[in-house]
Structure 1
Amino acid sequence: MNNKNKEIIDAFQFRHACKQFDPTKTVSEEDFNTILEAGRLSPSSFGFEPWKFLVIQNKSLKENLFPVSWGAQNSFNGASHFVILLARKKVDTIYNSEYITKIMSEVQNLPEDVANQRKSAFESFEKNDFNLLESDRTIFDWASKQTYIALANMLTVAAFLQIDSCPIEGFNIEKVEEILKNEGILDTEHFGVSVMASFGYRTKEPHEKTRQPLNSIVQWI
Structure 2
Amino acid sequence: MKDVTPQTALQAQILDAYAFRHAAKVFDPGRKIPEDEFNTILETGRLSPTSFGLEPWQMLVVQSPEKRALLEPMSWGANGIVSGTEGQLKTASHFVIFLSHTSATMAADSAYLPKFLREVKGFPEENITGLLGAYAQFQAEHFDLTDDRKITDWARHQSYIALGNMMTTAALMGIDSCPIEGFEMDALSAVLEAEFDVDPTLLKPAVMAAFGYRASPPRHPQSRRSMDEAVRWV
> Same fold by TM (over 0.5)?
yes
Which residue is 1:147 aligned to?
159
Aligned mate of 1:106, from 112, 119, 144 = 119
Which residue is 2:140 aligned to?
127
Shift of 1:64: 1.5
Equivalent pairs, count: 220
Which residue is 2:198 aligned to?
186
- Mean CA deviation greater in 24-33 or 62-71: 62-71
Structure 2: how far apart are the matches of 1:34 and 1:99? 28
Say which SS state the counterpart of residue 77 (structure 2) adopts: helix
- 2:27–2:92: 8 Å Cα contact kept in structure 1? yes
Structure 2: how far apart are the matches of 1:40 and 1:150? 7
TM, length-normalised to structure 2: 0.92
In structure 2, give the amino acid aligned to 1:200. Answer: G
Which residue is 2:62 aligned to?
56
Which residue is 1:77 aligned to?
90
Shift of 1:184: 4.2
Structure 2: how far apart are the matches of 1:94 and 1:177? 21
In structure 2, give the amino acid aligned to 1:151. Answer: L
In structure 1, give the amino acid aligned to 2:195. Answer: E
Unaligned 5+ residue runs, structure 2? 80-86
Structure 1: how far apart are the matches of 2:47 and 2:111? 22
Unaligned 5+ residue runs, structure 1? none
Which residue is 2:47 aligned to?
41
Query: C-alpha deviations, 1:58-116, integer Å up to 9, x for none?
Result: 22221111111011110122110000000000010011212211221111111111110
Say which SS state the counterpart of residue 70 (structure 1) adopts: coil
Say which SS state the counterpart of residue 195 (structure 1) adopts: strand
Which residue is 1:25 aligned to?
31
**Identical residues among aligned pairs (%):** 44
Structure 2: how far apart are the matches of 1:54 and 1:70? 19
Aligned mate of 2:16, from 10, 15, 19 = 10
Structure 1: how far apart are the matches of 2:19 and 2:136? 41
In structure 1, give the amino acid aligned to 2:9. Answer: N
Structure 1: how far apart are the matches of 2:64 and 2:93? 12
Q: Over aligned residues, Cα RMSD in angstroms? A: 1.0
Structure 2: how far apart are the matches of 1:204 and 1:64? 26
Shift of 1:205: 1.3
Spell out structure 1 runs of 4+ moving beyond 6 A. Answer: none
Which residue is 1:116 aligned to?
129
Alignment partner of 1:66 is 2:78: no
